[in-house]
Amino acid sequence: MTQRQRWTEASLPRLRGKTAVVTGANTGLGFQTARLLATHGAAVVLACRNPAKAATAAGQLRRLAPGAQVQTLELDLAALDSVRAAAQWLRAGYPRLDLLINNAGGVNPRFRRSADGFETTLATNHLGPFAFTGLVLDRLLAAPAARIVTVSSVGHRRGAIHLDDLNFDRGYRYQHAYFQSKLANLMFTFELQRRLAAAGAAAIAVAAHPGNARTDFGRDLPAVARAVLSPRLRALTFWLLQPPEIAALAIARAAADPAVRGGDYYGPGGFQEWTGYPDRAQPSARARDQDVQLQLWQRSEQLTGVSYDLAPARAA
């Protein structure tokens, strides 16, 4: 990208009158995304696992964006009971939602099962967002032109969907679990967009990734990974990692740039999409496999018990 073409915070249009739900919004990329949306006029719901941290983040946002409408919502994506309760709360309070930012994610260095019996990285990064989106879909469809933005990772290129062992019951490696979940995020986006288009819906599904961001995301990773991500090594890793304020721009662009179309994917425009201002990103060929997209969708419906009410549009 040239300097003139950079999509920066100043490029974000006014969002007054729009309501956005941002998952994992109490810190890091989620907080920065919520900040960008709130300071440009959107009413923002911070959907977070920890209510106390969400309240602190909401206070910070109100100071940064005086007059902004900011609410908090307890949401643990690794627990379907919490997902259903959060969706019910939203449905009771909001007749429509303009933006859903599926940002929250995690990775577990050791194998763990969620309350529903799923491997927790899969539960948090894919199954939870899949269920949550489906449960509030009618509120998104009620908006004039809603967007569902799901945050993937450049690491999706190293992922594979293990349809016969999604939960890694036959052996767990946290890198493989994380890369699978980030590939699933893209496949979910592409399959959802296809279904929205077939139904003639005004809503669109898009994806984004932050590149390599300097956040506390890796706080539970092994020591070597934590060292690389540490701010103390910023002088050595400046070319590899970028601040969350810049990394979040790809998510904000996917959410608000008028030029975005359904199925688009945005990420940093620099070397290997690691850093830089947002531009169109390139999904892997594996992410475009429609057969696996469909099979993953069907498995996700079976595991979560959530089906999407999207009937194909009738011909005139």
| Sign of the torsion formed by the C-alpha atoms of 55, 57, 58 and 59 | positive
- 316 contact partners, CB below 8 Å, separation of at least 6: none
Rounded distance between C-alpha atoms, residue 64 and residue 59, angstroms: 9
- Residue 253 dihedral angles phi and psi, to the nearest 5°: -65, -45
**Domain coordinates in residue numbering, the chain:** 9-217+244-303
Alpha-carbon distances, residue 145 vs 22, 81, 85, 261 (angstroms): 17, 29, 25, 11
Q: What is the set of active-site residues?
A: 178
pTM for the model stands at 0.91
Q: Look up residue 167 and give its two tokens.
A: 């939960």
pLDDT at 309: 87
Instruction: Please list the pLDDT of the chain residue by residue as tens digits (316 residues).
Output: 444 579 999 999 999 999 999 999 999 999 999 999 999 999 999 999 999 999 999 999 999 999 999 999 999 999 999 999 999 999 999 999 999 999 999 999 999 999 999 999 999 999 999 999 999 999 999 999 999 999 999 999 999 999 999 999 999 999 999 999 999 999 999 999 999 999 999 999 999 999 998 766 555 555 444 344 445 444 344 446 999 999 999 999 999 999 999 999 999 999 888 999 999 999 999 999 999 999 999 999 999 999 998 876 554 3
Residue 119, classed as helix, strand or coil, is: strand
CB 111 within 8 A of CB 170: no
**Widest pairwise Cα distance in the chain:** 62
pLDDT at 273: 87
CB 241 within 8 A of CB 229: yes
Q: Look up residue 71 and give its two tokens.
A: 């609410």
- 92 contact partners, CB below 8 Å, separation of at least 6: none
Residue with tokens 């073409």: 5
pLDDT at 220: 57
Rounded distance between C-alpha atoms, residue 43 and residue 37, angstroms: 8
pLDDT at 238: 45
Rounded distance between C-alpha atoms, residue 128 and residue 159, angstroms: 19
- For domain 9-217+244-303, give the fold: Rossmann fold (3.40.50)
The partner residues of 44 in beta bridges, in order of sequence, read: 20, 70
Rounded distance between C-alpha atoms, residue 15 and residue 44, angstroms: 11
- Residue 23 dihedral angles phi and psi, to the nearest 5°: -85, 145
CB 189 within 8 A of CB 291: no
- Residue 264 dihedral angles phi and psi, to the nearest 5°: -70, 160
